[in-house]
Amino acid sequence: MASTDLMDKIVSLCKRRGFIFQSSEIYGGLANSWDYGPLGVELKNNVKQAWWKRNVHGRDDMVGLDAAIFMHPNTWKASGHLDTFNDMMVDCKDCNKRLREDHIEDNTCPDCGSSNFTEARPFNLMLDSYLGPVRDESGRTYLRPETAQGIFVNFKNILDSTSRKLPFGVAQIGKSFRNEVTAGNFTFRQREFEQMEIEYFCHPDQADKFFEEWIENRFQWYKDLGIRTENLQLRKHEDDELAHYAKGCTDVEYKFPFGWSELEGIAHRSDFDLKQHSQHSGKELIYRDPFTNEVFTPYVIEPSGGVDRGMLAFLVDAYHEEEVDGKPRTVLKLHKDLVPTKVAVLPLLKKNTEVVELCQKIKNDLIKDMTCTYNDTAAIGKLYRRQDEVGTFYCVTVDVDSLEDNQVTVRDRDSMAQERVALDQLKQYLRNKFED
Ligand code: ATP
């Protein structure tokens, strides 16, 4: 399938089935802003939950944080974002298109083909706002362009309140905002997006080791959640690409239909941030080793991923078109931990009230344990196809025999194999499948 076709199909599926809508569509839409619909929000929450489970609850050296989006403006002076968080921008003199200089290929405007550009000039990516009743400089503040700084400014609070010993990490998921010059590629590059970030604090001598470990961990997470290995790669940044704070950086990239692109960056930030905040705030942000009494500023490894980009990669990778018995089938082969709906309960005969009642009873019981839906809007073949298209892991079908033998048919999304399961064992049967 041509890559543009694949992207078009995914965008269309996302809209048709309620994963992702254009923001404020009834007003003509707002460019590069997207709303997550009923199935989209489930998938997105599952991505975040899988990340939290692996990185916070699944380890004893991590804690969580949820810091405010608005921070003291000095934060951004200290972090370097006010002075250096710039993209170099040019305008095409022939069609007035504004472009990021590093996104131009072969010195050619992608809209009109011209090579007649203005001089490149820096463009700060931070979005600002004014807090308080008077709109003047004293109330000027910024919507955070990354969640990371919320962690650094809370380093001392976390250390004091948890008595953590190094090494330990702090994880946070939240919205970030960047006034991207060229947004686009569906949800890949937006001005408002969500990040999943970790700051892992350690002794400087151990930073290189943890840097390598985190690169491996984060690469593995995408694989464990079903992304095909051939569609993932690691890319080490060249020295001249490194951000102002980084000693090293490696990206996890996914082979999107529009090319290999960054899902997540793992950066070795040394002691840059803690030292900067210490200097600008006048507060000591240091660590005293309780065993050796050594006092030092911890080094930091930062795995920083995008929720929206991750979700887009999971969607793209899961999208399959197959032919079954001469008929096309579209199936989202999402990992069981990510699927928006785990089980659909379907009646073979929607006109039989006893069958429908049994379906409702089963759904009401299962829904306490797993995401579950009932649907009777078409014949069974079509109902299966509709559930396949949104990745529902199992379909439970109730027929007239079920009324007699107290068994239902459980259909597996990927193999399409069907199995009769006794009603009183159904919940445990499904639980076992999801716990595998
Ligand atoms: P890019 O080079 O694509 O602009 P970046 O290197 O500036 O990304 P980081 O600052 O490393 O990105 O941010 C960490 C993660 O946050 C990225 O890997 C990405 O998943 C996500 N992210 C960054 N900018 C955006 C955006 N505009 N829209 C959606 N996700 C984003």
Asked whether residue 156 carries a pLDDT value surpassing 90, the answer given is: yes
> What is the domain range of residue 97?
86-124
263 in contact with ligand 1, CB cutoff 6 A: yes
Taking only the tens place, the pLDDT of each residue in 13-39 is 999 999 999 999 999 999 899 999 999
Query: Do residues 151 and 170 touch, judged by C-beta distance below 8 A?
Result: yes
213 in contact with ligand 1, CB cutoff 6 A: no
- Whether residues 64 and 94 share a domain: the answer is no
- Whether residues 268 and 374 share a domain: the answer is no
Residue nearest to atom 18 of ligand 1 (CA): 264
- Whether residues 361 and 251 share a domain: the answer is no
Residue nearest to atom 25 of ligand 1 (CA): 189
Query: Do residues 326 and 313 touch, judged by C-beta distance below 8 A?
Result: no
Residue 26: CA count within 13 A, CB half-sphere: 0
> Cα separation of 253 and 3, whole Å?
17
264 in contact with ligand 1, CB cutoff 6 A: yes
> For a substitution probing ligand 1, which of 100, 177, 254, 309 has the most ligand atoms within 8 Å of its CB?
309
Query: Do residues 295 and 287 touch, judged by C-beta distance below 8 A?
Result: yes
- Whether residues 40 and 112 share a domain: the answer is no
Residue whose C-alpha is closest to residue 150's, from 83, 198, 214: 198
Q: How many CB atoms are closer than 10 A to CB 17?
A: 18
- Whether residues 59 and 152 share a domain: the answer is yes
Containing 250, the helix (H) or strand (E) segment is: strand 248-256
Taking only the tens place, the pLDDT of each residue in 390-407 is 999 999 999 999 999 999
> Cα separation of 85 and 80, whole Å?
7
271 in contact with ligand 1, CB cutoff 6 A: no
Label residue 436 by pLDDT band (50, 70, 90): low
- Whether residues 231 and 289 share a domain: the answer is yes
pTM of the model: 0.93
Label residue 1 by pLDDT band (50, 70, 90): low
Label residue 241 by pLDDT band (50, 70, 90): confident
- Whether residues 304 and 392 share a domain: the answer is no
- Residue 321 within a domain: no
The pLDDT value given to residue 365? 96
32 in contact with ligand 1, CB cutoff 6 A: no
State mean pLDDT over 134-149: 92
Residue whose token pair is 């968080």 = 85
Radius of gyration of the chain (CA): 25
- Whether residues 145 and 236 share a domain: the answer is yes
189 in contact with ligand 1, CB cutoff 6 A: yes
